Amino acid sequence: MSIFDMTRRNLMALTAAALVSSATAQAAKAEETIKVGVLHSLSGTMAISETTLKDVMLMLVEEQNKKGGLLGKKLEAVVVDPASNWPLFAEKARELISQHKVSAVFGAWTSVSRKSVLPVFKELNNILFYPVQYEGEESERNVFYTGAAPNQQAIPAVDYLAKEEKVERWVLAGTDYVYPRTTNKILEAYLKSKGVKAEDIMISYTPFGHSDWQTIVADIKKFGSAGKKTAVVSTINGDANVPFYKELANQGVKATDIPVVAFSVGEEELAGIDTKPLVGHLAAWNYFQSVDTPENKAFIEKWKAYTKNPKRVSNDPMEAHVIGFNMWVKAVEKAGTTDPDKVIDAIVGIKVPNLTGGVSEMLPNHHITKPVLIGEIRADGQFDTVWQTDDLVAGDAWSKHLEGSKDLVADWQTLKCGNYNTVTKKCGS
């Protein structure tokens, strides 16, 4: 063997050793942190709502690290931008889990984005914390729903309008996708069960990012001129809300005439428009920035300090991330591991303070207990709470008002099923 061959072999051996050493070092470095995925649109039509959720997740991770991290390790947030592109949500979820090896993911806003990622979380057995109000009709083992189900937002809002505002005619206006359509299907059935006639219900859908509201607002005004008190129940999502509310003001639709109660408009969305003409219109949430509790004051102070911007606002989905993140931390501590199977088992029954002064609990159906609040828009873009439930409301995965759903329950603790039929005594597909 020549000296050249020996040298070449030595070089190859050294290179191989270096590669193994580098890979080992990288693996060791990866194990030094617990990675948390952040899956929110930072561009596109939903960025107006989702960007702030990315920011609050970064704050929560930073705060937890100041407390010493989790299981003796620092947390590391991994942020991706699915860009309001529903199929891209699935790709980015797979990237977070397969490539970045995150232990859990906090993200999605629209139900279509959530539906897009569900198969990924089931296939790869990871955990999604979903922080936004949604249409119900779902309970997945790998998902924890920290936003409101319809019985924690939509149904109480309609009850409030009927009782307090004496509303008799209803405009159900939404963005054209699964959440508004399913929520309105539930509301239509609920209203009819209360004696509302079909001709007193108007349903309207528009695409994401819709900007020309002149005709629709004119139709709403005409519908409301029949001599019966009329209200708009809005499931309009994203940046389409800005021209919608502007057109209401342009056509002189006042809250005293036709009140609008929104399920997807909070402090963040109102920050971008002139709210003075909208004073008195309503929103139904489980949290408002204006809630006067020590917990909320402390949170807002930390939020403004973190963002270095005294004008930054907080909102309901942010609180849902606070609750979900703290529940995940407690479940990991209880399980002694970030292993999804063990965390899923450990988290049911976990209780953490919410920002309205109560304590939220993770239920066996993977929904949580929440208060329900109705707020009036103020001139400064904040809300005055005009009504709230006496107690926290347990989220229902399945609607009692829909055929095919009313007999279903979800229980991942005892029944190990998300759609158990109480009549047939069987778990559905």
DSSP string, 313-376: ---HHHHHHHHHHHHHHHHHHHHTS--HHHHHHHHTT-EEE-TTSSEEEB-TTSBBEE--EEEE
- The domain spans of the chain are 1-27, 28-149+293-372, 151-291+373-388
In the predicted structure, residue 94 carries a pLDDT above the cut 60: yes
In the predicted structure, residue 363 carries a pLDDT above the cut 60: yes
The whole-number pLDDT of residue 27 equals 44
CATH architecture of 28-149+293-372: 3-Layer(aba) Sandwich (3.40)
Task: Work out the average pLDDT over 100-109.
Answer: 98
Lowest-confidence segment of 13-17, 172-176, 360-364 by average pLDDT = 13-17
E-assigned strands of 198-330? Answer: 201-206, 230-235, 260-262, 282-285
Report which DSSP code applies to 378.
Answer: P
In the predicted structure, residue 165 carries a pLDDT above the cut 60: yes
The whole-number pLDDT of residue 278 equals 86
In the predicted structure, residue 229 carries a pLDDT above the cut 90: yes
Task: Work out the average pLDDT over 35-63.
Answer: 97
In the predicted structure, residue 3 carries a pLDDT above the cut 90: no
Give CA–CA dist 356/288, Å, rounded: 8
Look at residue 272 and give its three-state secondary structure: coil
Task: Work out the average pLDDT over 289-311.
Answer: 96
Report which DSSP code applies to 115.
Answer: H
**Residue 185 corresponds to which amino acid?**
K
Q: Which of 57, 26, 28, 25 is nearest to 40 (CA)?
A: 57
In this prediction, residue 20 has a pLDDT band, given cuts at 50, 70 and 90, of very low
The whole-number pLDDT of residue 98 equals 98
pLDDT tens digit string along 141-158? 999 999 999 999 999 999
pLDDT tens digit string along 255-295? 999 999 999 889 988 887 788 878 999 999 999 999 999 99
Give CA–CA dist 204/395, Å, rounded: 27
The whole-number pLDDT of residue 429 equals 59
* Arithmetic mean of pLDDT over the chain: 92
Give CA–CA dist 170/337, Å, rounded: 50
In the predicted structure, residue 23 carries a pLDDT above the cut 70: no
Cα angle 332, 334, 337; round to 5? 40
Report which DSSP code applies to 390.
Answer: S
In the predicted structure, residue 25 carries a pLDDT above the cut 60: no
Residue with the bigger pLDDT between 109 and 27: it is 109
Looking at the chain, the whole-number percentage of residues with pLDDT higher than 90 is: 86
E-assigned strands of 214-274? Answer: 230-235, 260-262
| Burial class of residue 394 (count of CB atoms within 10 Å of its CB; 0-12, 13-18, 19+) | middle
pLDDT tens digit string along 393-429? 999 999 999 998 999 999 999 999 999 999 999 998 5
Task: Work out the average pLDDT over 156-169.
Answer: 97
Instruction: Name every residue whose Cβ is closer than 8 Å to that of residue 244 and which is 6 or more positions away in sequence.
Output: 210, 213, 217, 234, 236
Longest dimension (CA), the chain: 103
Lowest-confidence segment of 7-21, 96-110, 245-259, 311-325 by average pLDDT = 7-21
Global confidence as pTM: 0.88
In this prediction, residue 26 has a pLDDT band, given cuts at 50, 70 and 90, of very low
Task: Work out the average pLDDT over 366-383.
Answer: 96
Look at residue 214 and give its three-state secondary structure: helix
Q: Which option is the CATH number for 151-291+373-388: 3.40.50.300, 3.40.50.2300, 3.90.120.10, 3.40.630.10?
A: 3.40.50.2300
Give CA–CA dist 143/121, Å, rounded: 8
In this prediction, residue 10 has a pLDDT band, given cuts at 50, 70 and 90, of low
In this prediction, residue 7 has a pLDDT band, given cuts at 50, 70 and 90, of low
Instruction: Evaluate whether 28-149+293-372 and 151-291+373-388 have a shared fold.
Output: yes
| Residue 170 structure tokens | 């209803």
Lowest-confidence segment of 19-33, 57-71, 321-335, 367-381 by average pLDDT = 19-33
Give CA–CA dist 111/153, Å, rounded: 16
